[in-house]
Amino acid sequence: MASPTPDVLIIGGGFAGASTAFHLSEVYRGSILVIDREKVPGVHASGRNAGLIRQSVTDPMIRRAVASSQPHYAHHGSEIGFRPCGSLLLGKRAQLEEVQETQRIASFFRTPDEVRRRVPLLDGHPFEVALETPADGVADIWALLQHYLRGARARGVQVRLDCEVRSISGPSPYRVETSRGPIEASYLINAAGAWAPQIAEMAGATPLPLVPWKRHLFLLERVGGVQSQWPFVWNLDRPFYFRPESTGLLLSICDEERSAVLEPTVSRAISEAAAELVWNELPALRGARERDVWSCFRTKAPDGRFVIGWDPSLERFFWVAGLSGNGVGSSWEVGRLAAGAFSDGEKTPEDAFAPSRFAAP
């Protein structure tokens, strides 16, 4: 079989790669190939997250990216399983006022009593006040990822799975050795999530300071009275979040662990840490049972902002990485910004996300 020669090779078929392929195929006339080393797309962070669409984040640039994405999720609601259940952000009034002031969407303060009447699991949890954002919600992450891949395929994008990048030379053209043979491409898009630094190193691109941080999610059962229409709850002070998941509860204690090995293993002490948090902060959950626990990586730049744009030193090498804990909520806008910056040549529309912010002066 002749080696494929797409104009653009996107490495990674998670939210970064899939949404970029979706949007780029609308504006770019050349051929696009997405590859992923897994047999199924979304095996890593994109398939192991909580699916929260949270606009009430503190960073204004990320908030803008999520807020610009939200109407598209609402519009494609049934196809991507978007549930506009809203969110309750718990914290101190001053903290939440700051979030509210810079938000362009409607949000309302709620007293602890009002909140506990709606979500009795918060009985016994001390918080000053809650900020409710009704337009927040939860997406079906598999359906959303498929939505991007299906849309991209319909416009001629090829997707090749079980295809691992092993080495890269180039750039004129790039020659990428993979587990399924060589691929030659004029442009590379690095959307490899936690492995984006490795792909950059193979290609000789700028070593950007991206760090994968491991985080766990718990699925709890024997939780009394969970109602599927509850908003998701996010506590700012001693951070945790939860939302209904079938008849149980999906809980994160917002742990962050730097790990040298990129394996989604479950850390030994994590269940005790969750039990301690429940004991101290969420007494109504003391009788719950841990049905499942898993981990995955949130890959972050030091300023917590995305990395979208051309590599500062290597020609024809484009980054869509560092989506941190917002890669689902902002995925629509991430792909749109990436497609715009890519097809506009050197110009990055959103300087706050440009890889060049980390380049030595």
Ligand X SMILES: Cc1cc2nc3c(=O)[nH]c(=O)nc-3n(C[C@H](O)[C@H](O)[C@H](O)COP(=O)(O)OP(=O)(O)OC[C@H]3O[C@@H](n4cnc5c(N)ncnc54)[C@H](O)[C@@H]3O)c2cc1C
**Member of 165, 233, 249, 251 binding ligand X (CB under 6 A):** 165
Residue with tokens 């766990």: 216
- Residue of this chain nearest to ligand X (CB atom): 327
Closest of 268, 269, 256, 253 to residue 214, by C-alpha:
256
Name the amino acid, one letter, at 279: W
- The site string for ligand X over 287-316 (x = CB under 6 A, - otherwise) reads ---------xxx------------------
Report the residue number, 21 or 116, with the smaller CB distance to ligand X: 21
Closest contact distance (angstroms) between CB of 52 and ligand X is 3
By CB under 6 A, residue 63 contacts ligand X: no
By CB under 6 A, residue 354 contacts ligand X: no
Stretch binding ligand X (CB under 6 A), from 14-22, 55-63, 181-189, 339-347: 14-22
Q: Angle at CA 95, nearest 5°, toward 90 and 97?
A: 95
Pairing of strands 240-245, 232-235: antiparallel
- The site string for ligand X over 172-211 (x = CB under 6 A, - otherwise) reads -------------------xxxxx----------------
Report yes or no: 249 and 243 within 8 Å, Cβ to Cβ: yes
Closest of 155, 145, 150, 144 to residue 32, by C-alpha:
155
Helix (H) or strand (E) holding 276: helix 270-281
**Member of 62, 233, 277, 328 binding ligand X (CB under 6 A):** 328
By CB under 6 A, residue 215 contacts ligand X: yes
- The site string for ligand X over 30-49 (x = CB under 6 A, - otherwise) reads -----xxxx----xxxx-xx
By CB under 6 A, residue 135 contacts ligand X: no
Scored b (16 or more CB within 10 A) or e, 177-212 reads ebebeebebbbbbbbbbbbbbebbebbebbebebeb
Binding site for ligand X (CB under 6 A): 11-17, 35-38, 43-46, 48-52, 164-165, 191-195, 215, 217, 296-298, 323-329
